[in-house]
Amino acid sequence: MGSMFLSKGQIYRNILPVFLLSVIFLNTPVQAQPNWTILESSRTVGTLKDVFFLDPNNGWAVGNNDNTDMATILFTGNGGTTWQNQTHPLSGILNTIILLDANTGYSAGQDWNDFTPAVLKTGNGGQNWEKQTVPNLEGELYDLHLLSAIKGFAVGYNSGNDKTLILRTTNGTSWTNVIHPSVKGQLNSVHFSDAQNGWIAGYNSNLDSPILLQTIDGGST
């Protein structure tokens, strides 16, 4: 009859696998499950192109309404649980929106009445949006970057000459064309790290390649 006692070697051999499995389990990161919730968006028909939140509660989303051909501006004051339409004068589409504070904000896209670039501005948190003065050319704006409440840049596409487009404001009211190495294509994104250093990204249709522009003097060149 064999011994009922285990030797130290047998004990180690029996315990070691259990110990290793415990160590592996305890040191294996637990993968968090995705937790995205579909939000009510005021049952708007169409598409939304951009969203911006000033804080966890107050946010805006922009796009266009297929039923009315009007641009869409939605606002939430409760973190996205409910959304309300904000009134504005633009027939067309809005592709981008940015708020500098609880009052001042800009949104940009295209006016479908004459297919010109469009910039809207609010000074009261979106209770009213007003059209800004832009150059008389056909085109569309895809992105905005504001350096202050009255200074900023917008980028996009000049459909009149099939070339890139950069607009600039220095007074928060009117926008002017910026001379730049214009190529056939469009500019999709603009960002400044400070008042002097900025970058723009887009697409060169001549070369079927990306394009990157940089300024180190606040957009003067």
Q: Is 70 exceeded by the pLDDT of residue 19?
A: no
The pLDDT, as a whole number, for residue 11 is: 39
Residue 171, Cβ density class (10 Å: 0-12 exposed, 13-18 middle, ≥19 buried): exposed
Question: Which of 7-13's residues contact partners 24+ apart within 8 Å by CB, and which partners?
Answer: none
Angle at 220 between CA 218 and CA 221, to 5 degrees: 110
- What pairs with residue 73 in β-bridges? 62
Share of the chain above pLDDT 70, in %: 83
According to CATH, the superfamily of the domain at 46-215 is: YVTN repeat-like/Quinoprotein amine dehydrogenase (2.130.10.10)
- Dist CA 205 CA 220 (whole Å): 25
167: Cβ contacts below 8 Å, ≥ 6 apart: 117, 119, 134, 135, 141, 153, 154, 155, 156, 175, 176, 177, 178
The pLDDT, as a whole number, for residue 33 is: 65
Structure tokens at 116: 């010109």
CB 175 within 8 A of CB 169: yes
The pLDDT, as a whole number, for residue 22 is: 46
Mean of pLDDT over the chain? 88
The full set of domain ranges for the chain reads 46-215
User: Residue 206: what residue type?
Assistant: N
Structure tokens at 140: 């569309």
CB 49 within 8 A of CB 96: yes
Query: Between these two residues, 221 and 37, which has the higher pLDDT value?
Result: 37
- The arithmetic mean of pLDDT across residues 21-46, rounded, is 64
Q: Is 70 exceeded by the pLDDT of residue 36?
A: yes
Q: Is 70 exceeded by the pLDDT of residue 12?
A: no
The pLDDT, as a whole number, for residue 203 is: 97
The pLDDT, as a whole number, for residue 17 is: 45
Over residues 91-124, the pLDDT tens digits come to 999 999 999 999 999 999 999 999 999 999 999 9
Q: Is 50 exceeded by the pLDDT of residue 78?
A: yes
